[in-house]
Amino acid sequence: MEYDLKVLKHLGFNMVRKHIKIEPDLFYYACDRMGLVVWQDMPSMNPHLPWPTPDQQTEFIRQLKLMITTHLSFPSIVTWILYNEGWGQLRSAEVELTPVIKALDPSRPVNSVSGWRDSGAGDFHDNHHYPYPQCGTPFYSLESTPYDHSRIGVQGEFGGIGHIPDMKNLWNVQSQLDTLNQTYEVTANIEIWNYRALRVVEDLKDQVELFSCSGGVFTQTTDVEAETNGLLTYDRRILRPNVEKWQSLTSAIYAAARSHSHAPKNQIFLTGQQS
């Protein structure tokens, strides 16, 4: 667990989005010590079912409150994320639940909707787009909404550049191997992976310089079951990034953010998304 975080730090990342799950306390303690900030998701309800029932929604709210009250003391956590891409999102429940989070923790901003179904709640306008970001920009895709200038513009997910390694580095389960080619974009080798992934991250740098992009989450830290788009392979034996080039680019993104120092919102957070 600490190895994954140290790899992110070494490459120049300064934030990790903890997506879908809540980690043991030692994870947040490690982030506290290393100086990595965390965007913490509320784990989503089943995205493939209809609207949650009243009982399910009540339990979701109970666990949301519990997550916040039990993690208030970790300084690495800087943002709470309520919903991801509409998964288990009951209509416009984020409008009602965002003030609940704010009342429990007035010290942290809330990303009410990371991805889709944005009704204007919370402190962030968070777009998801693969592979290229659309962060705080005047252009957007069918899945997103035009940038809302009253909120902080961030890219909650982008990238998704894949590379299928040798079998020895994969999670060797046939049902998962059959879906590897469903990764957003698959490259032939690690050299081409770096070419494509760096081009995508360079786009984020441009959007920091030209528009209102204040942060981006690169998908993702490691390969997971059925997705081979990590900075590291599933077994952590292969680190795909060309370290020198990635360090140079992340430094350039921070420099671009500092050039907008008159606007406090232009602080860049760049990370591998963890699942």
- Residue 268's pLDDT is what? 53
Q: In terms of residue numbers, what domain contains 96?
A: 2-262
Count of the separate structural domains present in the chain: 1
What pLDDT does residue 264 have?
A: 46
Residue 63 in any domain: the answer is yes
Determine, yes or no, domain membership for 268: no
Q: Is residue 195 part of a domain?
A: yes
Pairwise CA distance, residues 97 & 103, whole Å: 10
- Read off the CATH number of the domain in which 166 is found: 3.20.20.80
pLDDT in tens, 246-259: 999 999 999 999 88
- Residue 266: its pLDDT value, please? 45
Percentage, residues of the chain above pLDDT 90: 81
- Which tens digit of pLDDT belongs to each residue from 169-188? 998 899 888 888 778 899 99
Flag whether 186 is in a domain. Answer: yes
Distance CA 243, CA 247 (A): 6
| Type of residue numbered 130 | Y
270 located within any domain: no
Tell me, yes or no, whether 272 lies in a domain. Answer: no
Q: Residue 274 falls within a domain, yes or no?
A: no
Read off the pTM.
Answer: 0.93
Instruction: Return the pLDDT at 57.
Output: 96
Spans of the chain, pLDDT less than 70: 261-275
Could you tell me if residue 251 is inside a domain?
A: yes
pLDDT reported for residue 269? 59
